[in-house]
Amino acid sequence: MLPAGRTASNLALWRLAIAGCLAAILGAKILLIARLGNPTPYWDQWDAEAAGLYLPWLSGTLTPAHWFAFHNEHRVVLTRLSALALLWLDGTWDPIVQMLFNAVVHVAGIGLLVALLGRLLDLTCFLLFAAFALLFWAVPFGWDNTLGGFQLQFYGLILLSVLSLHLICAAAWSVRWLLGTLLAVLAYFSMASGALILPAAIGLAAVQIAVGRRAGVRELAGVLLHAAITLALLRDALSFSPHGTASIGAAIASFLISASWPVAAASWPSILKIIPAALINAPLLIFGLRLLKQRPGLDDRRWFALALAVWLALQLIALSYGRPGGTPESRYNDIFIIGVVLNAAAWLYLLRTAPQRRLLLVASVWLFAVMLGAGQKATDNIIDGISARVRTGQTQTENVKNFISTGDFAHLAGKPHLHIPFPSAERLAELLSDPKLRAILPAALTGAPEGRAKTLILRHGPILLPLGLALLMFAALACLHARRRTPSADPPQPL
């Protein structure tokens, strides 16, 4: 039975819109992988997967130390687990299969985020929101993650962070709260910045205590538990940090680039980056101030949006301090997009609940700036970046295949940068000469037949893109028809 005030037809349209949005995003990802994915393992995969996981497993020497070993400052246990599971299922070490699996995990995280933020909106606004989310996630701003087999950690971080923060928005020590805390710890074993989920929960709890929505010994004990776990995780992550940290000036400049994505560019003076950073995040600021003024109960859905905003700010701060020159890289755009989508949901909520001409004006400026910046990056940075990756990937595959077929080290030695898929030609030759590793190399390198299931997915999976668009448009048309029949009805919120 549906709750009072909700109709089965509107709920069906809501679900149809979500299904269409996610199908189109997944179809776009499969299309990119099918056309431009490189079957040759790349860079970190040779050490983290081949030497650190597959060879120990094949030789029967895999130990817990291998599972929990640092990869840079990350303990990528979940990435290793998925890599070994895919090897067992597929029989080969195939980066294309890994990319497809990663795409499914990412779409799952996107679906959860869209559904949770969509609970703040009525059906009409949600359809606009779903279309906006589809646009930003179907365009391959994060192509580096999509075209990398060893990038599951980014998607695992997103999925577990969203789910954990959603569950933690509950009374301390409840079953839901405990499960959210457990998932936050699990996220650390996807990526080191998973350690920042519980600080976001602590920040949310502090705000709720300040406005009188959390109180008592149990809530204080919950905050203390989260603080203790955070200290343990951060201490572990910082015990192995191969990257230097930034100066305060460099960190601030990097943070402004991240916070103003997709508008500001690295070449802009820092003072000019402040304006787009403030503009991009203005919806969340207004949304948060109104939420604190109203002081709703713990079960109010808006607390999740605020928790996600705190989490995003912490991610950007950590990234800017730990990777001061890396924020323009494609791999981080999957985090930045969450900020844009979250601000879009805040705008739609504000315009629905407090329609004011000045808000509409600012929202229009916001939309123009975001779309203009995203368009510039889509037509410039993405094309250039993917083109360079495809060119070097083809050269890497050719050199590796020639070495496998001839054993001649000249096919690997003395090559220009990125013409082989690992920085050390000697180490790469050593790994490729291992018979146990050769037995699991992808079919594209050995000449073996390709797997039928993978071939079918790559060939027919892109059809999900137009199919998803059709489903989303059908939901919009059905909503328009329903509103014409009952113009005074306010469509219900979803479950």
3-state secondary structure of 190: coil
As a whole number of angstroms, the distance between CA 204 and CA 209 comes to 9
Question: What is the per-residue pLDDT for 322?
Answer: 79
The amino acid at 69: A
User: Comparing C-alpha atoms, which of 366, 347, 337 is closest to residue 113?
Assistant: 337
Question: What is the per-residue pLDDT for 242?
Answer: 55
Question: What is the per-residue pLDDT for 491?
Answer: 43
pLDDT by 10s per residue, the chain, length 495: 343 334 667 889 999 999 999 999 999 999 999 999 999 999 999 999 999 999 999 999 999 999 999 998 899 999 999 999 999 999 999 999 999 999 999 999 999 999 999 999 999 999 999 999 999 999 999 999 999 999 999 999 999 999 999 999 999 999 999 999 999 999 999 999 999 999 999 999 999 999 999 999 999 999 999 999 999 999 999 888 655 556 787 888 889 999 999 998 777 887 788 999 999 999 999 999 999 999 999 999 999 999 999 999 999 999 988 776 656 789 999 999 999 999 999 999 999 888 778 888 889 999 999 999 999 989 888 998 999 999 999 999 999 999 999 999 999 999 999 999 999 999 999 999 999 999 999 999 998 888 899 999 999 999 999 999 999 999 999 988 877 776 544 444 443
Question: In the 3-class helix/strand/coil scheme, how is 191-218 assigned residue by residue?
Answer: CHHHHHHHHHHHHHHHHHHHCCCCCCHH
Question: DSSP characters for 363-428?
Answer: HHHHHHHHHHHHHHHHHTHHHHHHHHHHHHHHHHHHHHHHHHHH--GGGTTTPPTTSSSSS-HHHH
Question: What is the per-residue pLDDT for 493?
Answer: 46
- Structural tokens at position 241: 């940090």
- Structural tokens at position 471: 């489903």
pTM of the full predicted structure? 0.94
Domain ranges of the chain: 40-93+385-448, 243-379
Please count the CA atoms within 13 angstroms of the CA of 333 that sit on its side-chain side: 22
3-state secondary structure of 241: coil
As a whole number of angstroms, the distance between CA 124 and CA 17 comes to 11
How many residues in total does the chain contain? 495
Angle among Cα 465, 471, 474 to the nearest 5 degrees reads 140
Question: What is the per-residue pLDDT for 495?
Answer: 36
As a whole number of angstroms, the distance between CA 84 and CA 91 comes to 10
Cα dist. 10→187, 482, 491, 492, 495 in Å? 34, 9, 7, 7, 11
Buried b / exposed e across 221-258, counting CB within 10 Å, b at 16+? ebbebbeebbeebbebbeeeeeeeebeeeebbbbbbbb
Question: What is the per-residue pLDDT for 265?
Answer: 79
Helix axes 282-294, 333-353, angle to 10 degrees: 50
Q: Would the CA dihedral through 25, 28, 32, 35 be positive or negative? A: positive
Under the phi-then-psi rule, with left for phi > 0, alpha for psi from -120 to 50, and beta for the rest, what region is 174? beta
User: Comparing C-alpha atoms, which of 493, 491, 472 is closest to residue 483?
Assistant: 491
